[in-house]
Amino acid sequence: MSGANERFLNTDVILSEVMRTMEPDMVFMPLIPKVDSQGQPIKYGVKTSKSADTKKQSPRIQTASAKFPEVHLSRMTQEAALLNKEGFSIRLDEDSLNLPAGADMIMDGLQTLGQWIAESVNTNMYSTLDSGGTDSGATLTDWGTIAEATPLTDLRAFKNAMKREGKPYRMTDIFVEMTNFNELEEYLANSEYPAYRDAAINGVATGASSTMTVPMEGKPLIHGLHSGITHGDIMGLDGIHKNASTLFFWNNPKYTRPTISYQVANPSSPNGVETKTVDNFGLSAHQFFDDEKHEHVIQVWVDYVVVVKDAYGIITENGI
């Protein structure tokens, strides 16, 4: 077929427009290693102990009579997982494809798909990480009770709960629900200490979250989420030692590409925009014509699963 908006039936264009909306909102994605399953069964190892490894050894200088010591992965169990395919479809009639004004409607539809898929993936990621993590054991205060709340003391105790002998993890990122984030911001803004007031002033807001860096050891980045996390809950991750969890995905070449490019605003570039290319994590698209209804159908989905491999690399608690 031909029409003013025929380009929206191209897989590359669909993926580009959806990823443009999705990628900035994927709050957990930078903190989780990604592995392309290539459509094969998924097997991964889980550390079933949260304490130091009893089989830990020290390296030895190799000599003619002695070999290097062999390392055994202590208490490691093998698990399997299945990819989750979740997505949406939208229908385009002939008018939306042929009329110039239809481009705005199609763009709005693809952006909505991107927002909803990103929200769903964030919610599923949080649920998996939260259920697979370790309770901090800290007693936290209700941040909504101004007279009794001690958010900074809570954050310090929560952050330090990740420190344990034999484990490399240090908490770099903390996630809370947006109302709790706002309560923390108000607490810092009203502090008598300039460093705390500056932390509130220098916060950054994006589509899916707001962030601010708290001035304490390690300077953890606090993320306030609009959805996916329950009010009063808190979760901490290590963004440096990223071996507590893994995202497995499949970029099926029939429906997607290994990388996806989209344009973003950049006032310093000659034409005001620049092209950003990101690694794909299973975002796929397909379109077909419904002969009965004379409509084009666009399907967009993500083929992925997140697994937890070391519970102590994820700290959780509630009650703030």
Domains of the chain: 133-245+310-318 (3.30.1930)
| CA proximity to 214, closest of 241, 242, 234, 243 | 234
Helix (H, G, I), strand (E, B) or coil at 305: strand
pLDDT of residue 286: 93
DSSP annotation of 66: B
pTM of the model: 0.86
pLDDT of residue 1: 45
In whole angstroms, give the CA distance from residue 98 to residue 36.
Answer: 38
pLDDT of residue 87: 92
Neighbours of 25 (CB within 10 A): 19
In whole angstroms, give the CA distance from residue 185 to residue 209.
Answer: 14
Strand partners, 86: 302
Contact 200, 212 (CB under 8 A): yes
pLDDT of residue 54: 58
Q: Which amino acid is at 3?
A: G
In whole angstroms, give the CA distance from residue 185 to residue 211.
Answer: 10
Scored b (16 or more CB within 10 A) or e, 135-157 reads ebebebeebeeeeebebbebbbb
| CA proximity to 280, closest of 13, 15, 88 | 15
Contact 317, 55 (CB under 8 A): no
Helix (H, G, I), strand (E, B) or coil at 105: helix
Take residue 114 and report the two structure tokens written for it: 């991107």
Take residue 319 and report the two structure tokens written for it: 């009650």
Strand partners, 210: 205, 224
pLDDT of residue 301: 95
Burial class (CB in 10 A: 0-12, 13-18, 19+), 67: exposed
**pLDDT tens-digit profile, the chain (320 residues):** 456 677 788 899 999 999 999 998 999 999 999 999 998 888 888 886 544 555 555 566 666 666 666 665 555 677 788 888 889 998 888 778 878 777 888 888 889 999 999 999 999 999 999 999 999 999 999 999 878 899 999 999 999 999 998 899 999 999 999 999 999 999 999 999 999 999 999 999 887 789 999 999 999 999 999 988 999 999 999 999 998 999 999 999 999 999 999 998 888 888 889 999 999 999 999 998 888 888 888 899 999 999 999 999 999 999 99
Contact 245, 313 (CB under 8 A): yes
DSSP annotation of 274: E
pLDDT of residue 48: 67
Total residue length of the chain: 320
pLDDT of residue 229: 93
In whole angstroms, give the CA distance from residue 236 to residue 317.
Answer: 9
3-state helix, strand, coil in the chain (%, to 5): 30, 30, 40
pLDDT of residue 314: 97
In whole angstroms, give the CA distance from residue 250 to residue 304.
Answer: 7
| CA proximity to 9, closest of 117, 103, 87 | 103
